[in-house]
Chains A and B, each alone.
Chain A
Amino acid sequence: MKNVEKFIRPTNISELLEARAKEENNILLAGGTSLIFSKDASVRTIIDMSEVNELKNIEFSDGKLKLGAMVTMTQLRHRSDLPVAIRNAALSVASTPIRNVVTVGGEVMRGVYWNDLPVALMALDAVAVFASTTGERAMPLEEVFSLHPTKTIRPDEVLTRVELTDYMRPAAFHKFSKTATDYAIASIAFSARSFEGSTVREPKVVVGAVTPLPRRLNDVERLLSEKGESALEELETLFSGFKTRPDFRVSAEYQRNLMIVGIRRLFRAARDGGEE
């Protein structure tokens, strides 16, 4: 970043996409809280997205919930019409002065283990919308995180929004950490199409922090689909060989146990309205 020569601040999406396509060795600045630590000496231009007001909207349209890339965690946290899982994930991000500037776009595209929001978004089948001067393309968040997000986005693209369709389905999120503002030891999100008695339809379980990037737990989902709530007592076998991201704060055994306990709690929280 020491070799940056140019700082530009587009005021609408088309100016933003033009700059992204044309400016030499550019980097996008959303909230900026991680960019400050960048040691990338190749960056020549910073494209500051803070004046692109079209990206700051939370919209309900076409049957979808659309979260603009520049929507902050503080905005999400205070919107009572949003899913509880999303609001809780937004509140889990660091502290107030950081939530005031951290954005949806930054949380998704940064791709570090402690990003909380993508865990909740992925459990709700969120889709990322990338735009460039040639048009838009949509990609499920699960696919965005199949590689590092900086590899799934093309160099001329910008993440403009995240879209969710069945966003009011039962869902819950929890960040496990040593203090409220510390990085997650484990972030866990759970959602389901519906609960009927002790059975559950289309459960989605996503974990973060115990893995380098958010990851769906397909084996757990399958077991829950087959056996319903009773599967919660059989989770140990599924996690015995689970390879976790090394974390100096806790052991792998602790991480695995946290996932088991967390999934049990969040299954019940999602069924009972989202709050634990």
Chain B
Amino acid sequence: MMDISFKVNGKELHVSVTGNESLLDVLRKNGFTSVKRGCSEGECGACGVIVDGVYLKSCLMLAVQAHGREVMTVEALGDVQEPHPIQVAVVEEGAVQCGFCTPSRILASYSLLQNSPNPSDDEVKEALDGNLCRCTGYVKQLSAVKKAAELIGKEGEA
């Protein structure tokens, strides 16, 4: 076992991990259940998180790699009382159904909009290409990201 520490949504987490444990496992064991376990092999994208500003799949990252890093899950963005504009856009555009892929997809959208505040359709499609959805479909997801870009832009103007 190895003792590691890293931040999750700004709070320090100290854990002991084995060399083959994934970040996904450690996050879920420690209550961050917005990070979903889908395929565990990098296909579905339900386990997406942001580590030191990089959007990635936590099932493909060894937990020990997170040592000293800052991990962000969707909980850091907003909640029901104070939703982030991306979360507002997802609801308003109807880009959510069962909700399983949604937390990770919101982080993918966040990562895109951090780097490209007014993305083209092609940029949005590429940014979401690692997030499989099996009920909502992709058209509303695309319009939600475009809407979120608008909302964030308006917030910036205010």
Contact = CB atoms under 8 A, between A and B. Distances in A.
Interface of A: 1-7, 9, 29, 32-33, 35-38, 43, 46, 48, 50, 94-98, 100-101, 180-181
B57 interface: yes
A36 B62 contact: yes
A231 to B, nearest CB: 36
Contact of B57 (A29, A48, A50, A97): A97
Interface stretch (B71-79, B124-132, B135-143): B124-132
A48 B18 contact: no
B62 A35 contact: yes
Contacts of A94: 42, 130
Given A1-B20, A36-B20, A97-B55, 11 more contacts: A1-B18, A2-B18, A5-B2, A32-B60, A36-B60, A98-B56, A98-B60, A100-B55, A101-B56, A101-B61, A181-B130
A98 B42 contact: yes
23 contacts: A1-B18, A2-B18, A2-B19, A5-B2, A7-B19, A7-B64, A7-B67, A9-B67, A9-B68, A32-B60, A32-B62, A33-B57, A36-B61, A36-B62, A38-B20, A43-B19, A96-B128, A97-B55, A97-B57, A100-B55, A101-B54, A181-B43, A181-B129
Q: Is the interface of B mostly helix, strand, loop or mixed?
A: mixed
Interface residues of B, number: 29
B45 interface: yes
Interface string B59-96: 11110110110000000000000000000000000000
B108 interface: yes
B42 A7 contact: no
A233 B42 CA distance: 40
